[in-house]
Amino acid sequence: MIQGLEGLEAEWNERARAHRHFGSVNHPLNFNPGIIKGGDWASSVPAWCDVDCRIGILSDWKVADAQAEIVTCVEKAAATHPFLAENPPEVVWSGFLSPGFELAGADESEAVLGAAHAAVRGRALEESVFTALTDTRFYGLDYGIPALCFGAKAENIHGFNERVELDSLKSVTKILALFVAGWCGVETV
């Protein structure tokens, strides 16, 4: 099943090459089998297996369409396996199902953040595209509030050794303070 999903992941990443934002991103879509559980005893062949995946989609894809492709992929993979052909796996949608989100209408706040960034780091703010979920999507999709995602330089995000660079954390603190002052204004007392 995982090999079948890896094939679909490769196909989706190939399709992503034509996307206006993700065309230049190397491997923007990930199928992560983050939890694999199975069997009842170490000395017997497992009679069951659960695989929980995190699967990213592009911002203009529909969740239902992606789900249909995944189900088809699992059905095709099962059909080629002697046991699974007779005992098809069940696809269960659990957890969070999120439509994609693309920030729009934030030109003014982006300009204020960009000015604060340039003042602290001495260079222009770079735009970033990714298929990870951030809270900005809740504001944008659910409340129509354009929200920015900005933070410290991170490494190995969601890995066992996830970390942020402390120097970038310090500069982000300064940038955010300048952004708040620039966006909200300041009063002299």
CATH of the domain at 23: 3.30.70.360
Asked if the model's pLDDT at residue 56 lies above 90, the reply is: no
- Residue 153 located in a structural domain: yes
Domain of 156, CATH number, reads 1.10.150.900
Print the domain residue range for 65.
2-86
Question: Rounded to whole angstroms, how far apart are CA atoms 162 and 132?
Answer: 15
Q: Are residues 80 and 112 in the same domain?
A: no
Last residue in a domain, options 57, 86, 115: 86
**The two structure tokens encoding residue 166:** 């402390």
Instruction: Report the pLDDT value the prediction gives residue 128, as an integer from 0 to 100.
Output: 83
Q: Which helix (H) or strand (E) holds 69?
A: helix 63-79
Domains in the chain, number: 2
Q: Are residues 62 and 125 in the same domain?
A: no
Question: Rounded to whole angstroms, how far apart are CA atoms 55 and 2?
Answer: 12
| Segment 135-160 mean pLDDT | 90
Residues 53/59/61/66 CA torsion (nearest 10 deg): 0
Cβ-contact 183, 173 below 8 angstroms? no
Give the global pTM: 0.78
At residue 98 the predicted structure's pLDDT band, cuts being 50, 70 and 90, is: confident
Instruction: Report the pLDDT value the prediction gives residue 115, as an integer from 0 to 100.
Output: 97
- Residue 111 located in a structural domain: yes
